């Protein structure tokens, strides 16, 4: 992966995974090594600065909870860092970390919905069809896979094949998630079914 000159900056501390053969890396004068875990190399730092904001935005749109989205996005980048020596050789490390973050977010949404279903009690709730929601409220009512499909398709403009790859499912399955998510959003938003 080439490093744009503009993104090569030094930091006071650096995790220093060994540089890949043939890849020039800039190291801080005194790289820090803690507990046997090596330093971050400059390439990871540049990658982080480029990719973290966009992954965080996607995860925040899915979770509707920025502090939790920050934690989950950090978790994904930690996994990336711990495997950086290997993952940085992939063709698209950005796709790898995004896929990890989206799946962590989906797991979190599923866990929350499960707990909510246990906790919500048995009192009959007003049917959602009778209410209108804004986009935020409507997305909160979608299950994890539909939320992810909606955000990846409408915010990131990803084609179905990429949505499927990120969700870890077949393309027809991703199409179903998107279709159901869109229909549910239309119901909740009280929109007509015009297609742009």
Partner 1 sequence: MSLDRRLRDELRREAAAIEPDVERHLGAVEARALRRGGIGASTLLLAAAIVVAAIILRVPDPRLGGEAGSSGPPTPVASSSASPSPSAAAAYPEIAGMYVATLENANTAVKRDGVAGTWTMRLEPDGVIFLSPPASFVPGASGLSGIAFSLVGDRFRTNLFYNDYCNSIGTYAWSRAANTLTFTQVDDTCSIRRTLLATTPWVISP
**Residues at the interface with partner 1 (CB under 8 A):** 11, 13, 15, 34-37, 40, 45, 48-49, 52-53, 56-58, 60-61, 66, 70, 73-74, 77-78, 81-82, 111-112, 114-115, 117-123, 135-136, 150-151, 154-155, 182, 185-186, 189, 191-196
- Closest approach of partner 1 to the CB of residue 91, in Å: 23
Rounded to 5, what percent of the chain is helix, strand, coil?
60, 0, 35
What is the radius of gyration, based on Cα positions, of the chain?
20
Centroid of chain to Cα 23: 28
Sign of the dihedral defined by the CA atoms of residues 100, 105, 108, 114, in that order: negative
Name the residue nearer to partner 1 (CB basis): 5 or 116: 116
Name the residue nearer to partner 1 (CB basis): 75 or 171: 75
174 burial via Cβ count (<10 Å: 0-12, 13-18, 19+): buried
Cα-based torsion angle of the residue sequence 145, 148, 149, 152 in order, rounded to the nearest 10 degrees: -160
DSSP SS3 for 95: helix
Name the residue nearer to partner 1 (CB basis): 112 or 171: 112
Name the residue nearer to partner 1 (CB basis): 174 or 185: 185
- Closest approach of partner 1 to the CB of residue 185, in Å: 7
């Amino acid at each position: 992966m080439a490093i744009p000159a503009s993104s090569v900056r030094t930091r006071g501390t650096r995790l220093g995974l060994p540089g890949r053969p043939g890849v020039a890396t800039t190291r801080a004068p005194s790289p820090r090594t803690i507990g046997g875990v090596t330093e971050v190399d400059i390439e990871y730092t540049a990658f982080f600065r480029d990719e973290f904001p966009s992954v965080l935005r996607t995860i925040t749109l899915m979770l509707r909870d920025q502090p939790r989205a920050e934690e989950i996005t950090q978790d994904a980048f930690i996994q990336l860092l711990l495997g950086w020596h290997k993952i940085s050789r992939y063709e698209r490390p950005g796709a790898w970390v995004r896929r990890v973050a989206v799946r962590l977010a989906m797991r979190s949404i599923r866990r929350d919905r499960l707990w909510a279903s246990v906790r919500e009690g048995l009192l009959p709730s007003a049917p959602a069809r009778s209410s209108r929601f804004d986009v935020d409220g409507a997305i909160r009512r979608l299950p994890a896979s539909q939320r992810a499909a909606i955000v990846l398709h409408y915010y990131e403009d990803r084609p179905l094949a990429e949505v499927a790859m990120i969700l870890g499912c077949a393309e027809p399955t991703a199409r179903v998630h998107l279709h159901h998510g869109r229909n549910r959003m239309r119901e909740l938003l009280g929109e007509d079914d015009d297609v742009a």
